[in-house]
Each structure stands twice: as structure tokens, then as C-alpha cells.
Structure 1
Amino acid sequence: MTKPAVAALAGLALLTAACGGTSGGPEQQAGPVTGGTFTYAIPADPGVLDPAQGVLSVTNNVLAVAYDTLVAVGEDGKIVPALAEKWDVKPDSVTFTLRKGVTCSDGSPVTPSNVADNVNYIADPASKSPVYGVLVPAGMKAEADDAAGTVTLSMPQPFSFILESTRSMYIVCGKGVKDRASIARATSGSGPYQLAEAVPGDHYTFKVRRDYTWGPAGATAKELPETVVMKVVPNEQTAANLLVAGSLNGALFTGPDRTRVEAAPGVTKQTPSAGNGQFFYHQGDDRPAKDPEVRKALTQAINLQELAGIASSGTGKPPTGLVLEPRPCLGDTVSGHVPAFDAAAAAATLDAAGWKPGPDGVRTKDGKRLTLRYMYATTRGPGNQAAAEYMAAAWKKLGVEVKLNGVIDTKLSESLNSTQDWDVVWLPIGVTLPSQLVGFLSGPSAPEGANFAHLANKRYEQLVAEAGELPSAEACAKWLEAESALFEAADLVPVVDNTVLLAGKGATFRTTAGSLVPTSIRLTQGG
């Protein structure tokens, strides 16, 4: 896995959003309004719009409006046809047969060669694509047969999720395939909308393609709004005001304004999962948490149930795993696998490991103080700060010196990539497949590799190696067991399954893995 992938993890984690959709309300009983404009708030500018560079969820949310994938996820979480009408899966390859009659936004046909060029471009080191090894599995190659209408994606060894991984690959077609610079602020896809206007920092306006008839599970553009506006609204209070007033049709809320929005009349709402809140221990050679007994004691000292309520401001759920819903492998990997809260046992564990309280109460061993530098992002709301302070207080009682280091997103990414100046980091994860985490949780350590916490869990490594050689359905038991092995060793500590408020007004829509499902958008009041 490449170094940029470490930044990709930080990006995916820090800006990951919800999956699910809005629930029905009284205003949704009328039939959909044809034409009109659907306006959706995004929390930041998406940046470069080339799908090969799209690591942030806000970017992929915008891309989802204009680009198709080979397969999609249905409302029941199962894989459904999209650009591909059928597929043949083998342990190390999958061959897709593309739908006939699919066209790009410039009118050109979408061919198997387009698909192959997308995959091979991302896999080419010269592209420096940060999604390689995350959204496109490392080692994947593509070969097209335009005459047969097929494209084959292959791996150098068996890969459990070779089919499922393609649900996240946006396919560029037309001019954008050969001229990637042309899609920095434009789109060249086969999706139901085409970008008509880009005003960075303010809004992105898309116009519908009424000829679109090849959407997932047979979806078409017949009942879609004429226009979709992705409006940049960094401030949630502003977004709440706009939604309640009817100037927005949809927005996500993670902070205190969600309570006000939920209570507003005419607002539809759901509180889907939005990624996991957890922290990692740095296990480099010179770090105290390299010792598994230290990690165990630090974890035992924290009441994770109380911490979950603080970190999520009371809106979270008990965590059950590392992967966003809808998960390919169902099961609870957390319960019974994390060291239980026991402050007395935590102190005894450190005593037995040789860490004795000094004159000032801070534990020492071989003349070295037990000091932790705790790093977290300041851009994720007050819960992160409060959680950090709660953990620091608990560890201080244990005899640990804690230095809190709140940083902005870019500084956190820099520390994960190069400076490595941390001992504990709060880093939510937002991935859709367990295989997307392997390079981050094993293998070469940063800065040479993506293993930013220097993990070396042999049981995890063995289980994922065994799982990777099995088809996804047969491999799930091992993938789940591998996650539990991480928690048992306190390599990382799951705390809370965060939720967000996904609110709508005057429209219905669904999201999956944080991105709008454009074919699901229906206006229920003018627009």
C-alpha cells in the first residue's frame, strides 16, 4: 500500500458520513414533483473532481451524482447490477458483462475499455492515486474485450471482495478517460446528472440526463428533479436554518443543531450509522504502548460506555465492528473482546509490568516516565475535545502523564504520514470492506508503509491471509475473527458507533456509505 493511502485513511475517517436514507413523513405521501431543483448541503468544497483523486467522502458524495459504478448496493444491502448487467466471479478475478446502450454525458458509448482504463490508470504508480489500495485493491489489473462486451478485473492472488470492491469505483468515460485534467472541475460520466456549473467554495450545479435508463436495479431519470445543487455550507447552524426555512432539501447534522432540526415541522429524518469512534495506540519501538500490558492497562482504566456518550454527545450506539453499513460480513466483533473497565486491575497490571508511581504520582520504569501524547482532530466537534479530556483525567488517576494535542485535519494526516509525533490517536474509520483496512493494520510501518500505528498482530495477519483466499461468503467468519483479535490485543479500541441526523424537507432520497443515491431523489414539494 502506498504512502498516500495513509492520508486517504485520515480523509475517509475524518469526513466519513452516513449510510441509509430518509424516513417517510406526511408530506411524502403525495406523488413526486417532476422538474424542479433539489438542493443538498455539503460541509466543505469537494476539491478536484477526478474520481481517481477522490478520497474524502464529501468529494465522493458529489461524484456519485454524475458517475456510475459497475455494481451498486440495493436498499437491502445486497449487490445489484449497475453498469454491469451480470458477472462471473472466480477466486482471483471477476468478469463483467456491460449493459448495452449506455452512453457517457458527451454521447459517446461506455465501453469495457473505458472501465479497464479507469482501473489501470489508478493502479499505475505514475497517477499517484490515493484511492489505490483503498477503493481499488492493490495489485488489481483490468483487461477489456470490447467485441464481447466484457471486462475482467484480476488480482495476483485470491481476493475475497473482488466483486464488492467495485461498488466504490466510479467509472470515467468519454474525453475524461484520456484527459484527466479536463475533469478537475467538470464531470465525464454515465450517471444521471452532468455538472453544469462549478463555483468552488459555494455550489456545484448538475443537470439531469433524461436519456438515463441504466441505473441500479432498472432505475431511470424519468421522475428525477431537473437540477441538483450541491451547496457548500460549512456551518451546521447555517445549514439548519436553511433546511428549516425550506432553502435546502437535504443535509447531514452531527452537532447540537440536530436536535432543533429533528423538532422542526415538515422535516423527515433518520439517524443512520456514520462510522466508528475509536483510538489507536502507537506501537513503535520507543513507545510505551508497544508493551501489550500497558495497552491493556490503559484500556482497562477507561469506562468506554461513559466515553461513548461523551464522544458522541449522547447520540451514538454501541460499536459492533470496523466496517460501515451495509457490511458484507454481519456480526459483532466487539462484545466480549475488549479489556473490561476495571481501574483497580489497570493499576495492578501496570505495577506488574514494572511501572511504579513516582514522587509526583507519575509512573516510571527504568528512569522513563509513562507519558502519552494524545492526538485528535479539533474539526470534528466538541465531542472530540471532551472525550480527550475525559481520557486524560482517567489516565492521570492511573499515574500516566498525558499531553493533549488537538490539531486540524491536515496536521493529523501529516503526523500519521511522517512525523509520527503521537502515542494515542482518536481516528474514526469509514471503510466499506474489511480488506480496505489490512494495509493500515499490518505490513510495513509508516513512513515506509501505511501501517501508521506500527501494529504487528500475528493472529490478525494470519486470519486475514486465510480469509483473503476464500470467497466473501466463506471468508466472513475469519474476517470477523481477525477484527476481534485486534480488540483483544488492544491494538485499537472501539468506543462508539456514531450516528448522524440525515434530514430532508420537500424531498425524499437515500444515501449509501455517505453518498447520495441520485436515482432515489424525489421532490415532494415544488423546487
Structure 2
Amino acid sequence: MKKVLGVVVAVALAAAACGSDDSEGAPEVVSGGTFTFALSADPGALEPASAALGVTNTTLGFAYDPLVHSDAEGRIVSGIAERWEPSANQVVFTLRKGVTCADGSAVTAKTVADSMNYLSDPANKAVLLGVLIPAGMTATADEAAGTVTLATKEPNPFLLESMTAVSVVCGKGLADRSVLQAGTSGSGPYRLTEAVSGDHYTFQVRKDYAWGAGGAGIVAGMPDTVVLKVVKDESTAANLLTSGGLTAGQFTGPDRERVAALPGIKTGSAPDGIGEFFFHQGDDRPAAAPEVRKALVQALSLDELRTIASGGNGVAATHLTSLAPDPCRGDAVTGNLPAFDAAAAASALDAAGWKAGSDGVRAKDGKKLTLRIAYQTSAGPSVQAGLEFVAQKWKDLGVDTKLVGSADAAYSDSLFKNGDWDMAWVPLGLSLPTQLGGYLSGAAPDKGGANFAHLDNAEYVRLSGDAAKTVGAAGCDGWIAAQAALVKNADVVPVVLPTQLVAAKNAEVQVIGGIVRPTSIRMLAP
């Protein structure tokens, strides 16, 4: 939930490096100091098992490590594990020696296995279960060999790649998860020292850290202190970057050009989580009927919506994953959505029994065609303008539309708890086709699952099940066909792959797979 799922729906960035060529040689780095990065919203509870927002996962990335990482090109590189052996139903990880938790305790094979088994236990209701953590996955430790084996009941073609986004909890937090609501307990390069909800989160460097992505450690130019500052307004963030109140941030709206022109700025452009929308298909919802969903889509010019919702900074979305490693990059969208035709859309609703009343609003069996359109306020003014465009076009069609914007945590609750929406704009920031299954099929949230839109597409289930029998990218044609089945049924409507500007003043930073890579940060001389 970029975004809210990091795994999740969320505003999330793919592989990107802030930096530019310097004809006079490498810039001079400055060790120590403070790196202040803008978060567009408060991360909320810091428990990794419930982390569903991009801002939460960015925060956790400073304090936790995964077993393996993805580099900027999508290749798998070492993390806590230095070697791995994947097969259809399991991956055996050999752990790096000498890894320690922030509290000084050793990170052993049992530590990792216990952390993984907590996530795979349905009683703990981890948001990653069924998305990154396959249902029924077990973790077995061999302390003597220093290995952890993750095994699944069914073949899982991207189990190795999934582990790039799963934080390993260690130390005190593994024994008492309650400390993770407002604190951290990981092996990452920084230790959380202060958490002020709604304002800032401060981290201090761990000088002994030496097991980052590809064996990265603490080197010259890395900051001693990192402050993640909650700045909900993008223009405010731009002003703070100008005045020195921020070192870096991400920008999607009209402030991009102003930020890019600042002296001492290093910039990079990165794909954002896919901008797409879903219809709630639960019982008694008007969009449960495919003819209604298709008519609503047909009433929109998706090309126009794409331009508005991205502020002109995006391209057509062609599949349902966007973050590194993103191994399956085919086209599941082109030709699978109804072409724009407002008159045909009106006729289709008439044929489905939704007739316009004296007030112009369509109704069927005495029930008005009313749609609550939900979105994250942190998504920015362009997304809001795009949804205002949608609301107006649907009003012209005879639909009573209501725009409902909410902050990230409340928005996540709306999707996964109270279901108080009919159409939701969801910037789905995922990297692997296997991550989609829990969100696009299976049990709904009220039944303990993550299928927030209550989708029931048998063709998707069949095709994705067949694709899952092939390990790795060799099964990508099947995964793309499965996604196409969803698009044809208007179960999901991919609109745009927008970009964000990653800007740093007198600093450099990489954002990979939607997460700031802490060991990439370099403070530069003015």
C-alpha cells in the first residue's frame, strides 16, 4: 500500500541514483554530518510485519536488513546471506558470519528462521503473508552449517527475489514484538534513537556495520546521523531543500523544475508505483457487475487521465509490477481495455438496467448508482486532479460520485479494514508477479486475506498457477497472460507509470526497489 504495499500499496520508487557526471572527477565527500530526508507522511507503527506503506518501508530500511538485496539493475546481491541455492520449492541461504543486531546480539540461523516463521504464522496477520511470504512457508535453521532453508508447499518461482523486501527482526524485538510499534530491532546500518510521530525519526550510524548490499559497509562520506522528517506538503519540502532544512526528497508535482534548478543539486528520475484503479466487487456493490466496470472505464479517456494524474511525467503502464528487479516486463494492457466512447458507455449502463432519473442520476431497483472514489492525499495534486477528472466524467454519465481523500494510514485502513470505497486509486509498488496473488485473488480482508477489491477471476488464478510452476523469468509469458485476464475483465485498470524526481543537495543517494539504500548516501562538499 509506492506506495500501500512495498510490497505494498505505496508511493514507491524503482532503481534510481541521484548523481551526475562530473568532468572534473569524483566530488569530494564529507564524512559525518547529518542527512535529512523528507517523508511524505508519517510511517505509523514500525512493526515490520504490518508495514504496508512506502514511507514505512523507507524508514525500516535504515534499521533492518533483508537476506539478500537487489541492485540497481535488478540483480540479486548479498545481504545477511552471502550465498543462496534456489530451486522450485525452496531456497537455502548461507549466512554471513559476524552479523550483529543493533543491541549487540548475534544474528544466527535461528534468528533468521524465527523471524521468518513469525511472518508465515497466520495467527500473526502479517501483511506480507500471501504476498512476499508464501502461505505455508517454513524456515529451518542449521546452526552448525550457518544456513536457513525457506521451503514452500507449492512451487514458488520468485521466492529468492521476494526476500529482497523482507526485513529480518533480531534481538529484543524478536522476543517482544511490542517494542517494534515505536522502535526498531534490526541489523541495519543505522540505529533508531528518536521517534517523534508526525515530525521526525532520527538514526545514528553503526560504525561496525559491514554486511550491506553486496558487502557494503560504513565508508567515507556516509553521514553519522540520518533524520527522516515528515513533510506532507511537497512545496514545503522544496522550500526546506532550498533553505538547507532538508538534504534530499522526492518530488512529483509542479515543484520538480524549481528543485532541479537549485545550486548544488544532484537529481535522478525514477519510476513510481503504477497509478491504477480498482473497483470494489464485494456483495451489493454496483461495480461487482463486469458490464458496469467496463462501461465506467469506457467513459474515460485514459490517455487524458494519464497526463493529468502524472502531471505529464509518466508513460502508459503495460504490466502490474514496476520496482526492481521486475523480471516480467511484457504488455498485459494494450488492447485489453475498452476504447474511449462515452455514448457507448451510456448505452451499456442503460442495457444493464441503470437508468437515469429526473435528477440525472442513474438508478436500478430503487438504488442510485453512487461511487465513493478513494485516494491518498499524499499522492499529490496531480492525482487529485486526475480523480476530479474521473468524477466529472462519471457524473456526466449519470453516476453520483464522491471524492474521498485520506492520509496514508487511514487510506490503508479503508482498503484493508472497513472497505468504505467503490473505486480506489492504488499506486501499486510491487516488483514480482508472485506478490500480486494475495492482492488480486483469494480471501478478502474480512476473511483474513489481502484481496482488498474482492476479486474473483478464475482465469487469472488458473494462468498464474500454471506460471508459478516455472522457476524465475522463464515463466514470464504466463504471468503476463494472467495479468491480461484481469485487465480484460476491468478488475484492475492500469493507467500510468509516473516518475518521481529524487533530489539531493550536496549529497548523493540511491533509491532501489522503492527504498532508500542507506549505504549509498554520500555527503558532498559544497
TM-score, structure 1 as length reference: 0.91
Query: C-alpha separation between the residues in 2 aligned to 1:479 and 1:238?
Result: 41
Is 1:29 the counterpart of 2:29 in the alignment? no
Tell me how far 1:153 sits from its aligned partner.
Answer: 0.6
Tell me the secondary structure at the aligned position of residue 429 of structure 2: coil
What code does the residue aligned with 1:314 have?
G
Give the match's secondary structure for 1:386.
helix
1:345 matched residue in structure 2: 344
Name the CA distance, whole Å, in 1 between partners of 2:370 and 2:172. Answer: 55
Which position in structure 1 is the counterpart of 2:425? Answer: 426
Opposite residue 393 of structure 2, the aligned amino acid is A
* Contact 2:40–2:378 (8 Å) recurs in 1: no
Q: How far apart, in 2, do the equivalents of 1:153 and 1:302 lie?
A: 45
Q: 1:183 to 1:454 in 2, by over 3 A?
A: closer
Q: CA deviation at 1:493?
A: 1.0
Alpha-carbon distance in 1 for matches of 2:154, 2:165:
21
Question: Partners of 1:235 and 1:397 in 2: how far apart?
Answer: 32
CA contact (8 A) 1:93 1:154 kept: yes
Residue range with higher mean Cα deviation, 97-106 or 399-408: 399-408
Amino acid at match of 2:485: A
- Write the distance in 1 (CA, Å) between the matches of 2:280 and 2:195: 41
For structure 1, list consecutive stretches of 5 or more residues without a partner in the other structure: none
Aligned to 2:499: 499
Would you say 1:92 and 2:61 are equivalent positions? no
Residues 24-76 of structure 1: per-residue CA shift (max 9 Å, x gap): 16598323222332222223333333323332222221221222211101121
Cα gap change, 1:374/1:49 in structure 2, threshold over 3 Å: closer, same or farther? closer
* Structural mapping, 1:286-325, within 5 Å: 286-325=284-323
1:221-265 deviations in whole A, cap 9, x for unaligned? 122223322233333223212212333221112333223212222
Q: CA deviation at 1:184?
A: 4.1
Deviation of 1:307 after TM superposition, in Å, equals: 0.8
Render the CA deviation track for 1:71-102: whole Å, top value 9, x for unaligned. Answer: 10112111112211111112111110111222
1:478 match: 478
1:153 maps to 150
The one-letter amino acid paired with 2:391 is: A
Instruction: Please report how far the alpha carbon of residue 473 of structure 1 lies from its aligned counterpart in structure 2 after TM superposition.
Output: 1.9
Task: Give the equivalent residue in structure 2 for 1:111.
Answer: 108
- In the TM superposition, what is the alpha-carbon distance from 1:130 to its structure 2 partner? 3.0
How many Å apart are 1:308 and its aligned residue? 1.3
Measure, in 2, the Cα distance between the counterparts of 1:281 and 1:178.
40
Stretch of structure 1 that moved more, 109-118 or 120-129: 120-129
Q: How do 1:232-311 residues align onto structure 2 when only pairs under 5 Å count?
A: 232-311=230-309
Contact 1:357 1:364 in 2 (8 A): yes
Please name the residue that 1:20 is paired with.
16
Residue pair 2:4, 2:10 contacting (<8 A) in 1 also: no
Give, in whole Å, the separation in 2 of the partners of 1:203 and 1:414. 23
Correspondence for 1:58? 55
Task: Give the whole-Å Cα distance in 2 for the aligned partners of 1:225 and 1:410.
Answer: 30
Q: Which moved more, 1:359-368 or 1:419-428?
A: 359-368
Provide the secondary structure at the position in 1 that maps to 2:159.
Answer: coil
Which residue of structure 1 lines up, in the alignment, with residue 68 of structure 2?
Answer: 71
How far is the alpha carbon of 1:14 from its aligned partner? 4.3
- Give secondary structure in 1 for the equivalent of 2:312: coil
Counterparts of 2:311 and 2:365, CA distance in 1: 40
Partner-residue secondary structure (3-state), 2:45: coil
Residues 346 and 397, structure 2, Cα contact 8 Å, conserved in 1: yes
How many angstroms does 1:113 deviate by?
A: 0.6
Shift of 1:304: 0.5
Shift of 1:126: 4.2
Q: CA deviation at 1:358?
A: 4.5
Corresponding residue number in structure 1 for 2:45: 48
Q: In structure 1, how many angstroms separate the alpha carbons of the residues matched to 2:194 and 2:444?
A: 42
Q: Per the alignment, in what secondary structure is the counterpart of residue 59 of structure 2?
A: helix
What's 2:117 paired with?
120
Q: Which moved more, 1:20-29 or 1:296-305?
A: 20-29
The structural deviation recorded for 1:443 is: 1.9
- Sequence identity of aligned pairs in percent? 52
Instruction: Call closer, same or farther: CA 1:520–1:385 in 2, change over 3 Å.
Output: closer
* Match 2:215 to one of 204, 218, 231: 218
Contact 1:66 1:192 in 2 (8 A): yes
Distance 1:322 1:348 in 2: 30
Quickly say closer, same or farther: Cα 1:401–1:125, change in 2 above 3 A.
closer
Distance 1:428 1:29, change over 3 A: same
For residue 525 of structure 2, what is the aligned residue in structure 1?
525
Asked if the contact 2:15–2:72 (Cα under 8 Å) also holds between the matched residues in 1, the reply is: no
Query: Which position in structure 2 is the counterpart of 1:463?
Result: 463
Pick closer, same or farther for the CA change 1:44–1:289 going to 2, 3 Å: closer
2:300 and 2:390 in contact (8 A); partners too: yes
Identify which range, 443-452 or 149-158, moves more after superposition. 443-452
C-alpha separation between the residues in 2 aligned to 1:45 and 1:80?
30
Shift, 1:418, TM fit: 4.9
Instruction: Report the residue type matching 1:177 in the other structure.
Output: L
Whether the 8 Å CA contact 1:28–1:507 is kept in 2: the answer is: no
Deviation string 1:468-526 (CA, Å, 9 cap, x unpaired) is 22212222211111111111111121111122111011111101122111111111127
Residues in 2 aligned to 1:228 and 1:380: alpha-carbon distance in whole angstroms:
24
- Structure 2: gaps spanning 5 or more residues: none
What residue in structure 2 maps to residue 383 of structure 1?
Answer: 382
Q: 2-side partners of 1:140 and 1:8: how far apart?
A: 23
2:84 partner SS: strand
Deviations 1:251-299 (A, max 9, x none): 1123332232122222111221111111112223423323322222211
The number of residue pairs the alignment matches comes to 521
Q: Do the aligned partners of 2:113 and 2:141 also contact (CA within 8 Å) in 1?
A: yes
- How far 1:152 moved relative to its partner? 0.4
Corresponding residue number in structure 2 for 1:196: 193
Are 2:7 and 2:128, in contact at CA under 8 Å, matched by a contact in 1?
no
Bigger shift: 342-351 or 291-300? Answer: 342-351
Q: Secondary structure at the match of 1:392?
A: helix
Q: Give the CA deviation at 1:109.
A: 2.6
Cα displacement (A) at 1:391 = 1.6
Deviates more, 1:205-214 or 1:150-159: 205-214
Distance (whole Å) between structure 1 residues aligned to residue 171 and residue 354 of structure 2 = 63
